[in-house]
Structure 1
Amino acid sequence: MLLAAARGLLAHAFPILIAQLASIGMMVVDTAVLGHVSPVDLAAVAIGGGIHVSVVFALVGILQAVAPVVAHLHGAKREGEVAGVLQQGFWLALLLSLPGVLFLTHPGRCWEWRKWMWRWRPRFASIWPCSPGACRPRCAIARSMLFAMLWASRGC
């Protein structure tokens, strides 16, 4: 019984493991390639990639609440209500995609908090070590990368 459960778990976990390893491999290749281009490009892609992942994970994390609700309704034999929950999940995804797209296409407006953090530099120096003026080249490259990633992503 335990062996059968372990096989089932591995059968479901193996594709996830492959996807995670592929994702890590892509990040390693990005770092290796951009490390040879310039440090500014490497920093910009790191900033843009971090922002992209944060936005996507935040929005997808909210949408992941739909699956347990559907599973609960299915388990309670209330299949008639599943379509309504899925429809609401679709509308929620559409609604959440608007601020996500705006943030990824216009990150400059959202990065104005840097000026506030620069005033508090002694407190936040470990998380934002450069001045707002020194970060402009990286931010311009990161903005271009975010725009490209927005249209390259299947989720948007």
Structure 2
Amino acid sequence: MELKVKRIHKDAKLPLYQHKGDAGLDLFSSVDCVLEKGEVKPVPTGIQVAIPERYVGLVWDKSGISLKGVHRMAGVIDSGYRGEVRVVMVNLGDEPFVIEKGMKIAQLLIQPVTEVKVVESKGLEETSRGEKGFGSTGKY
């Protein structure tokens, strides 16, 4: 499968797999910027992508950045979207986070999409879990 990518900033870096077998393609910042403590900011990548039909692009954190308290927020690129890929980032750390042009800021996973038919129901079949949610499986 091919992922068509268009550079819209001359210095933009194309997404790339760092190692054979990696699930995610690294995405790179196309600008220098600072993410202040508590700030949410869309960071441009300088690229547009054409996600194939029946697939979705999922934007995920880079583990090294996450360890510093910086995470991505919104993370879905639909197959019909043709605008610039921007990574919405939040700094939950204790200090400003410097993003340099060309720095890896997130990773892009390309996954198949299953379209479902939504059917309204008056009831749902019972399961052993039922309505048990957050923390319901216990600590250990």
Output the TM-score relative to the length of structure 2: 0.18
* Structure with the larger helix share: 1
Please identify which structure carries the higher strand content. Answer: 2
